[in-house]
């Protein structure tokens, strides 16, 4: 396999969704595990840094680098094996989440994590970032769905890390018991994933989507907390997703739907419920209508999405919001501005308070309010600000810093699904204790003793 130092090739891998540009010294595109191992071994021998990349949809500059080799895994994109009985798929790292799910759907199966970027994002990237999506409310993020990984470590060895199938285990500290957990979310810093075994779930027999309009943000978020608690009390009733739209996000979704859809609403919650028997449809609807009514929803105004095509439409209006904001942000780049997006989360019951405080901080600094939407059921909104120029960018970044400090004070996290990469790594030391940082560094030293993988990410 050749390693290219051609400037055009290097430029082609110099950007991800962060908006930054970092040009690697070389680019390699292995098509087999053997090629990837050879490449890592020669890089280790030369002490050359190696940064793996998938589809480069990282929003935090995790998949670009200005040192060493950029190792694009996108060409290793085969589904190797699907076992519909034990619900396991064996895949190469470059297969996209969307392509895998299209294949699995024909067999009545699904890889549950559903990042909004699923049609581009690769399984390697999803594992490395512990990606999640709307359905993670029911199924959890990627971590829970990874059974094993084949990894090339920093000594150039190919190792197979498999989750222990034990129900009881008292050997060793918990942090050391399952090395698969070290790899999930490690953002390329511990090695190169060259194959993975994933757990699958059966496609539910029925899925129902509901869009509920609210007279205010607080009513919508109180509904979300109540819906979440009902689902926790009776887990079969936990919705797959509980997505929130503030008034400005709703306006963008309305444009995508067309007409005067949800015209008088000040906030919207979109939820999906899975169930097994056709005759449950009315019961599922009734349950959500009666809960909605307790928070001021008029049942006549609820939109129902009852089949696969309708559910796809519903996802389209959900995805229209980040797509629209990305376009607005891109249009400001020539003027020194861009979209600034947060990825913080708080315990879900604290979301309304956190959003109130976040809005107050924007007001205090005279910054236009963010368009806010996202995974409210997990306490995880996305605030999208638009900086029109470099001055506004500085102001917004200041507001975001203060917001994150507030969020951490509420027991929250700076990054709930996009990772730290290079852009947010300064928050690591704020969010974690020195002892936690030492554990991370010890794992890094054990797997990548020369410190060659993904320089600048996370640590
Ligand atoms: C429009 C948009 C929407 C998004 N929505 C979501 C969302 O809903 N949920 C979410 O979680 N994220 C989301 N993201 C962020 C991003 O798509 C995810 O983090 C995704 O999992 C990254 O996959 P990728 O293949 O693009 O990885 P890349 O961006 O190429 O890489 C990301 C990280 O993974 C590492 N990596 C990639 N492949 C390997 C490998 N084979 N071995 C070791 N390390 C590897 C890289 O080194 C890097 O650190 C979104 C991004 C965009 C642009």
Per-residue model confidence (pLDDT) at position 236: 62
Phi and psi torsions of 204, nearest 5° = -65, 150
Q: Is the pLDDT of residue 235 over 70?
A: no
CA of 323 to the centre of ligand 1 (A): 17
First to last CA, the chain: 31
State in Å: Cα 132 to ligand 1 middle: 10
Q: 3-state class of 257 per DSSP? A: helix
Q: How far is the CA of 176 from the centre of ligand 1 (A)?
A: 25
Other Cβ atoms within 10 Å of 440 Cβ, number: 17
Name the band, by pLDDT with cuts 50, 70 and 90, for residue 413. Answer: very high
Contact 339, 322 (CB under 8 A): no
Q: Which atom of ligand 1 is nearest to the CA of 183?
A: 43
Query: Among 136-145, 225-234, 320-329, which stretch is predicted with the lowest mean pLDDT?
Result: 225-234
Tell me the per-residue pLDDT of 183-227, one tens digit each, with 9 for 90 and over.
999 999 999 999 999 999 999 999 999 999 999 999 999 999 999
Among the ranges given (91-95, 112-116, 198-202, 276-280), the one the predictor scored with the smallest mean pLDDT: 276-280
Position 230 confidence tier, pLDDT thresholds 50, 70, 90: confident
135 touches 240 (CB < 8 A): yes
| Bridging pattern class, strands 69-72 and 26-28 | parallel
Contacts with 378 (C-beta within 8 Å, 6 or more apart), sequence order? 132, 136, 137, 345, 348, 416
Q: What is the pLDDT of residue 395?
A: 97
What does the pLDDT look like over 58-72, one tens digit per residue? 999 999 999 999 999
In ligand 1, which atom is closest to the CA atom of 94? 41
pLDDT reported for residue 316:
86
Q: Which of 19, 43, 53, 344 to mutate to test the pocket of ligand 1 (most atoms within 8 A of CB)?
A: 53
What number is the average pLDDT over the span 226-236? 79
The burial of 28, by beta-carbon neighbours within 10 Å (0-12 exposed, 13-18 middle, 19 or more buried), is given as buried
Q: Write the DSSP string, 115-160.
A: -TTTTT-BHHHHHHHT---TTHHHH--GGGGEEEEEEE-TTS-EEE
The pLDDT value recorded for residue 280 is: 84
pLDDT recorded at residue 1: 60
Pocket of ligand 1 (CB under 6 A): 16-17, 51-59, 62-63, 73, 93, 115-117, 121-122, 124-126, 128-129, 131-133, 187-188, 192-193, 322, 417-418, 454, 457
Given a cut of 70, whether residue 148 has pLDDT beyond it is: yes
Name residue 415's beta-bridge partners.
Answer: 343
Task: Quote the percentage of the chain above a pLDDT of 70.
Answer: 99
**Chain-centre distance of CA 365, in angstroms?**
29
Nearest atom (ligand 1) to Cα of 151: 42
Task: Give the pLDDT score at 281.
Answer: 87
Instruction: Considering only the C-alpha atoms of the chain, give the largest distance between any 2 of them, rounded to a whole number of Å.
Output: 68
Sequence-distant (6+) residues with CB within 8 A of 376 are 220, 221, 224, 242, 243, 244, 269, 348, 351
Cβ(37)–Cβ(152) below 8 Å: yes
Give the ligand 1 atom nearest the CA of 96: 25
Cα(226) to ligand 1 centroid in Å equals 32
CA distance 454 to 459: 10
Inform me whether the pLDDT recorded for 116 exceeds 70: yes
Q: Whose CA is nearest to atom 49 of ligand 1?
A: 187
Counting from 1 in the atom list of ligand 1, the atom nearest the Cα of 421 is 49
What DSSP element (H or E) covers 311?
helix 308-332
Q: Give the pLDDT band (50/70/90) at residue 293.
A: very high
Q: For 390-418, b where at least 16 C-beta lie within 10 A, e where not — what string?
A: eebbebbeebbebbbebbbebebbbbbbb
Q: How far is the CA of 193 from the centre of ligand 1 (A)?
A: 13
How far apart are the CA of 129 and the centre of ligand 1, in A?
A: 6
- What share of the chain has pLDDT > 90, as a percent? 91
pLDDT in tens, 332-376: 999 999 999 999 999 999 999 999 999 999 999 999 999 999 999
What atom in ligand 1 is closest to the CA of residue 454? Answer: 47
In ligand 1, the atom with minimum distance to the C-alpha of 323 is 1
- Atom of ligand 1 minimally distant from the CA of 126: 21
Q: What is the pLDDT of residue 315?
A: 85
34-47 average pLDDT score: 97
CA 257/CA 347 separation, integer angstroms: 31
Q: Kindly give the residue spans of alpha helices, DSSP state H, lying in 373-421.
A: 390-409
Pocket test for ligand 1, best of 58, 130, 326, 419 (most atoms within 8 A of CB): 58
- Would you say 48 and 69 are in contact if contact means Cβ atoms under 8 Å apart? yes
CA of 369 from ligand 1 middle (Å) equals 27
Q: What is the full DSSP assignment across 31-45?
A: SSHHHHHHHHHHHHH
Give the chain's domains with CATH numbers.
Answer: 79-202 (3.30.465.10), 204-418 (3.40.462.40)
Statement: residue 298 has pLDDT above 70: yes
The enclosing H or E element of 290 equals: helix 281-294
CA nearest ligand 1 atom 5, residue: 116
Spatial distance between the Cα atoms of 347 and 344, rounded to a whole number of angstroms: 11
Query: How many CB atoms within 10 Å of residue 141?
Result: 21
Tell me the CA–centroid distance for residue 126 and ligand 1, in Å: 5
User: Is residue 308 scored above 90 in pLDDT?
Assistant: no
CA distances from 245 to 30, 101, 345 (A): 42, 26, 16
pLDDT tens per residue, range 252-269: 999 999 989 999 999 999
Which DSSP helix (H) or strand (E) runs through 272? strand 267-275
- Distance from residue 302's CA to the centre of ligand 1 (Å): 34
pLDDT recorded at residue 213: 97
């Amino acid at each position: 396999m050749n390693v290219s130092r051609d400037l055009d090739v290097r430029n082609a891998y110099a950007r991800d969704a962060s908006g930054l540009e970092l040009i690697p010294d070389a680019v390699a595109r292995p098509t087999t595990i053997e090629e990837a191992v050879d490449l890592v071994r020669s890089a280790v021998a030369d002490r050359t840094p190696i940064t793996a990349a998938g589809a480069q949809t990282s929003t935090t500059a995790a998949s670009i680098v200005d040192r060493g080799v950029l190792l694009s895994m996108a060409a290793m994109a085969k589904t190797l094996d699907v076992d519909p009985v034990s619900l396991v798929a064996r895949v190469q790292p470059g297969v996209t989440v969307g392509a895998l799910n299209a294949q699995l759907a024909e067999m009545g199966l699904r890889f549950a994590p559903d990042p909004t970027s699923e049609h581009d994002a690769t399984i390697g990237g999803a594992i490395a970032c512990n990606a999640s999506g709307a359905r993670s409310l029911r199924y959890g993020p990627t971590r829970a769905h990874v059974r094993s990984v084949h990894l090339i470590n920093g000594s150039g060895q190919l190792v197979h890390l498999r989750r222990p199938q034990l129900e009881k285990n008292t050997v060793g500290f918990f942090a050391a018991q399952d090395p698969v957990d070290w790899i999930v979310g490690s953002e390329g810093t511990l090695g190169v994933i060259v194959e993975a075994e994933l757990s699958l779930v059966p496609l539910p027999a029925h899925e129902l989507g509901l869009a509920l309009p609210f007279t205010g943000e607080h009513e919508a978020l109180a509904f979300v907390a109540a819906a979440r608690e009902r689902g926790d009390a009776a887990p079969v009733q936990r919705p797959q997703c509980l997505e929130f739209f503030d008034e400005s996000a709703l306006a963008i979704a309305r444009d995508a739907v067309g007409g005067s859809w949800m015209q008088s609403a000040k906030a919207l919650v979109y939820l999906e419920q899975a169930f097994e028997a056709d005759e449950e449809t009315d019961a599922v609807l009734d349950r959500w209508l009666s809960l909605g009514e307790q928070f001021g929803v008029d049942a006549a105004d609820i939109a129902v999405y009852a089949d696969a095509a309708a559910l796809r439409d519903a996802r389209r209006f959900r995805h229209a919001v980040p797509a629209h904001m990305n376009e607005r942000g891109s249009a400001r780049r020539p003027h020194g501005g861009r979209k600034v997006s947060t990825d913080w989360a708080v315990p879900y019951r604290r979301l309304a308070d956190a959003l109130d405080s976040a809005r107050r901080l924007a007001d205090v600094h005279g910054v236009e309010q963010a368009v806010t939407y996202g995974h409210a059921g997990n306490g995880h909104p996305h605030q999208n600000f638009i900086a029109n120029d470099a001055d506004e960018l500085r102001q917004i970044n200041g507001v975001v810093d203060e917001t994150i400090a507030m969020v951490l004070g509420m027991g929250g996290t700076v990054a709930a699904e996009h990772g730290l990469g290079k852009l947010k790594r300064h928050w690591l030391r704020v969010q974690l204790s020195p002892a936690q940082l030492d554990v991370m560094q010890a794992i890094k030293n054990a797997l990548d003793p020369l410190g060659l993988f993904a320089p600048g990410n996370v640590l």
